[in-house]
């Protein structure tokens, strides 16, 4: 535990309070158990003139009360921790999405407007931010101690993390998973700034295409429209417009929700989750699209809305 570490997010205080409560509860048990042990070791030491003739009777009142007291205390801690965990993993719908790709040995960050940075993450304060993270190669771990966040970043999967920074400042960003020779240099900084300042920052600097525009480009280059229609309207292959968030019936009868992970699977391992009613002709794009472009392509597919029936 490091009490000198700044608490830069709303949840940081609660995480600290929970850890403190756990430590105190463990400390009380420790003192009680070792205290009683020490006391009886002295009291019943060899040669002490104590009367060992009449052992005390078992009392149910004592037995039941300590069992219930410890059960209540630790169950309370469990509920507190579980509730906090669930909240930490449910981003609010209005969260600002920023994409993070881990790579030996750097963090590549891309903002929805197309602004990129390396080993740095600019975020507005007092606004929920959701990171969508993946890795280009091995397992990394995105950790910002001042925010009390730490999450594995895995190849082939999208992991998300969200937080609301409270205090403006520059905070350390670490990779906390041994990921090879350059692991120790896989560090950076999180720059938390006022929302107006963030807007200014987004406006300045090198600005490429937006995420969705770049994704449309990937869609064109790989000829996705050949089967899925112009702007994903559908054709030989299923329609992509309006697909994100919808429920999809698979060939094996299962029903899945079309989230980011599902879209990714469809592109990389299409034979794994085939959509009902379509021929088995979707080729795999594994090895042809890297993680950064895949994120963009998925952002584009997410942006496609179903046309209102005319």
Helix (H, G, I), strand (E, B) or coil at 169: strand
Question: What tokens does 72 get?
Answer: 């209540």
Taking the least distance from each CB to ligand CUA, the nearer of 140 and 228 is: 140
- Per CB under 6 A, the segment of 36-44, 46-54, 172-180, 204-212 that binds ligand CUA is 172-180
Rounded-to-integer distance, Cα 254 and Cα 273, Å: 9
Q: Is 183 in the site for ligand CUA (CB under 6 A)?
A: yes
CB of 133 to ligand CUA, least distance (A): 12
Taking the least distance from each CB to ligand CUA, the nearer of 99 and 198 is: 99
Taking the least distance from each CB to ligand CUA, the nearer of 181 and 280 is: 181
The site string for ligand CUA over 113-152 (x = CB under 6 A, - otherwise) reads ---------------------------x------------
**What are the φ/ψ torsions at residue 81 (nearest 5 degrees)?**
-65, -40
Taking the least distance from each CB to ligand CUA, the nearer of 109 and 258 is: 109
Rounded-to-integer distance, Cα 262 and Cα 272, Å: 10
CB of 256 to ligand CUA, least distance (A): 31
Whether the link from the prior residue into 105 is cis, omega within 30° of 0, is yes
How many Å is the maximal CA-CA distance in the chain? 99
Taking the least distance from each CB to ligand CUA, the nearer of 135 and 210 is: 135
Q: Is 179 in the site for ligand CUA (CB under 6 A)?
A: yes
Beta-sheet strands, E only, within 136-184: 140-144, 149-153, 159-164, 169-175
CB of 132 to ligand CUA, least distance (A): 17
Sole binder of ligand CUA in the list 177, 244, 263, 304 (CB under 6 A):
177
Burial class (CB in 10 A: 0-12, 13-18, 19+), 110: buried
DSSP per residue over 255-305, as a string? Answer: EEE--HHHHHHHHH-TTTTPBTTS-S-PPP-TTTS-HHHHHHHHHHHHH--
- Per CB under 6 A, the segment of 35-43, 173-181, 205-213, 286-294 that binds ligand CUA is 173-181
Taking the least distance from each CB to ligand CUA, the nearer of 175 and 282 is: 175
Taking the least distance from each CB to ligand CUA, the nearer of 106 and 216 is: 106
CB of 189 to ligand CUA, least distance (A): 16
Beta bridge partners of residue 110, listed in sequence order: 99, 116
Beta bridge partners of residue 255, listed in sequence order: 249
Beta bridge partners of residue 189, listed in sequence order: 120, 172
Helix (H, G, I), strand (E, B) or coil at 105: coil
Sole binder of ligand CUA in the list 186, 190, 212, 243 (CB under 6 A):
186
Question: What tokens does 150 get?
Answer: 């730490």
- Per CB under 6 A, the segment of 15-23, 170-178, 224-232, 245-253 that binds ligand CUA is 170-178
Question: What tokens does 175 get?
Answer: 């990779």
Residue found under tokens 């594995």: 152
- Per CB under 6 A, the segment of 4-12, 87-95, 175-183, 259-267 that binds ligand CUA is 175-183
Helix (H, G, I), strand (E, B) or coil at 229: coil
Q: Is 175 in the site for ligand CUA (CB under 6 A)?
A: yes
- Per CB under 6 A, the segment of 163-171, 177-185, 202-210, 222-230 that binds ligand CUA is 177-185
Binding site for ligand CUA (CB under 6 A): 102, 105, 140, 175, 177-179, 183, 186
């Amino acid at each position: 535990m490091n009490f000198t570490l700044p608490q830069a997010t709303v949840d940081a205080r609660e995480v600290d309070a929970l850890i403190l409560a756990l430590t105190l509860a463990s400390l009380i048990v420790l003192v009680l158990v070792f205290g009683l042990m020490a006391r009886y070791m002295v009291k019943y030491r060899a040669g002490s003139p104590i009367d060992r003739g009449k052992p005390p009777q078992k009392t149910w009142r004592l037995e039941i009360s300590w069992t219930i007291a410890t059960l209540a205390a630790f169950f309370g801690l469990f509920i507190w921790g579980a509730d906090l965990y669930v909240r930490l993993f449910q981003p609010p719908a209005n969260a600002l999405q920023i994409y993070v790709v881990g790579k030996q040995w750097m963090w590549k960050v891309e903002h929805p407007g197309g602004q990129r940075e390396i080993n740095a993450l600019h975020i507005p304060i007092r606004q929920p931010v959701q990171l969508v993270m993946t890795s280009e190669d091995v397992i990394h771990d995105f950790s910002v101690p001042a925010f009390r966040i730490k999450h594995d970043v895995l190849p082939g999967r999208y992991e998300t993390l969200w937080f609301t920074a409270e205090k403006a400042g520059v905070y350390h960003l670490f990779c906390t998973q041994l990921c090879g020779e350059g692991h120790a240099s896989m560090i950076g900084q999180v720059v938390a700034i006022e929302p107006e300042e963030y807007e200014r920052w987004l406006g300045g600097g090198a600005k490429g295409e937006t995420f969705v525009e770049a994704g449309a480009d990937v869609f064109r280059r790989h000829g996705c429209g050949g089967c899925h229609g112009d702007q994903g309207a559908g054709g030989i292959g299923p329609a992509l417009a309006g697909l994100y968030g919808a429920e999809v019936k698979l060939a094996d009868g299962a029903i899945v929700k079309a989230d980011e992970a599902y879209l990714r699977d469809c592109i990389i391992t299409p034979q794994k989750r085939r959509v009902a009613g379509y021929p088995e002709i979707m080729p795999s794009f594994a090895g042809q699209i890297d993680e950064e472009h895949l994120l963009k392509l998925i952002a584009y597919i997410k942006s496609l809305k179903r046309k209102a029936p005319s």
